Amino acid sequence: MKTVLVVAAHTDDEALGCGGTIARHVAEGDTVYAVFMADGVTSRAEASPQDIENRNHAAEKAREILGITKNFYLGLPDNRLDSLPLIEVIQQLEPIIQQLQPAVVYTHHHGDLNVDHKITHQAVLTACRPTPNNSVREIYTFEVMSSTEWANPTCEPFIPNYFVEINDQLNIKIKALQAYLTEMREEPHSRSFSHIQHLAKHRGNAVGLEKAEAFFSIRTIRAQ
């Protein structure tokens, strides 16, 4: 059994990006943890401490639905991670990785439009650099609708090369996203429930599966 860590910029990114895969890991006996880098709220006009509490409450509800063992909330400034020295962001993340010793890590695609996604990706790759004592053997990046597909496609397009079948987990992913109902949108919008379902079918059908989530494999290490 493996220890799996999802490092997301904001609460809801974990469900959007790899909710089905999280549920599959749990079903297969793995232990999953999640880290949320930014508070996800304070960049919005008239945001209040109650809004942060509500967002974190939604994340805990989604955690229970997906089967995540524990969430870690770093509370860094929302949509302003680039205002911090990168080393300070990394230093917030490294102790958690050292504590959990994950074998598998999922995080954001570096080419995403959202700046917090970019910084989170950089922090993860630095914290998970392949030193002799690092536990991480696999790193995958996921797509988050309304960020990955909205980025400049000439820079770093998301081109997946790793797919996880989620036929039995898509309904769990949708249920987790219902916990984040205020973050979802109506059609026509890429962060609508119907599009999330269509995307799972598209990613699956593209590789001969029924439903899947797509990732880019950053690193895979096979050791003794």
C-alpha 127/C-alpha 121 separation (Å) is 10
More confident position, 41 or 179: 179
pTM for the model: 0.97
> Which run of H or E residues covers position 107?
strand 104-108
Residues 197, 170 contacting (CB under 8 angstroms): yes
What local confidence, expressed as pLDDT, does residue 47 receive? 67
The string of pLDDT tens digits covering residues 150-170 is 999 898 999 999 999 999 999
C-alpha 121/C-alpha 11 separation (Å) is 15
C-alpha 87/C-alpha 93 separation (Å) is 10
Predicted confidence band at 45 (pLDDT cuts at 50, 70, 90)?
A: low
Spans of all domains in the chain? 3-220
Superfamily (CATH) of domain 3-220: LmbE-like (3.40.50.10320)
